[in-house]
Amino acid sequence: MDDFKSVYCKGCWQQMRVPIFIRSPLSFPFRMMGIKTSRMHPNLCTICESMFTKVKKNKQIDIQATVMFADLRGYTALSEHADPAGIARLLNKFYDECAPAIWKRDGIINKMIGDAVLAIFNFPVEQHDHVHQAVMAALEIQRKFSDMQSEFSDISGMNAPVKVGIGIHTGTASIGELGTNYKDFTIIGSVVNKASRIQGVAQNGEILITDDAYHCIKVDYPQLEPRAYNLKGIDQPVIAFAVPL
């Protein structure tokens, strides 16, 4: 599982051609300076978290990104019935299973929002096929959940199946450091909003992607059926496609 881990920061290398060592004995002087591995991705460093906007000479920058929301379903109902320790174990397990699927494909986990993971692809490590990478990560997460169903149900202490709903969208988003004391960065913009909303209408165990995302991977799935959704806060119906598992 650890074979994707790099000895130097991939973000700093790609953006600045500076080798910042985060593993191996070479990382020692960097650690002495307080530079550590980012919690968003084990191949990035804390410079990437706090300095990217400085390196880019801006508080906020626009990037092309693919945003993925993966949401643990039934969590609200579970939290009313299962014991808190079981819920915490379930959330940890969810995170542990989602994270490597995302990290292996150079995506970062920007945040855990309650029971959902917000992942970003194409920043800070750029990828020409970031939509494809996001879809591959989503497929791996769904496969893991179907393979480990009984394990997840046992952890939660409930008999009900534990499922994940995933939404993916791609476009121009804004990344920046919001607030003065904020160390890491936040992604904002309609891309994030739409990815979140499309995740909201994905069924349990489903991967829903917007037409913008589908356009980028159509060659892999030429014949998916379009579906129209009316989403809260978005005027026009949104066309989306379910990726076959």
Q: Residues interacting with Zn ion, by CB under 5 A? A: 9, 11-12, 45, 47-48
State in angstroms the smallest separation of the CB of 234 from Zn ion.
35
Please identify which residue in the block is written with the tokens 């990217």. Answer: 52
User: How many other C-beta atoms lie within 10 A of the C-beta of residue 49?
Assistant: 20
Of 177, 40, 51, 53, the residue nearest 117 (C-alpha): 40
Distance CA 61, CA 63 (A): 6
52 vs 152 by CB, closer to Zn ion: 52
52 vs 94 by CB, closer to Zn ion: 52
H-assigned helices in the chain: 10-16, 28-32, 46-55, 75-81, 84-103, 130-147, 149-156, 190-201, 211-217
State in angstroms the smallest separation of the CB of 11 from Zn ion.
4
47 vs 166 by CB, closer to Zn ion: 47
State in angstroms the smallest separation of the CB of 63 from Zn ion.
16
38 vs 170 by CB, closer to Zn ion: 38
CB 141 within 8 A of CB 166: yes
State in angstroms the smallest separation of the CB of 12 from Zn ion.
3
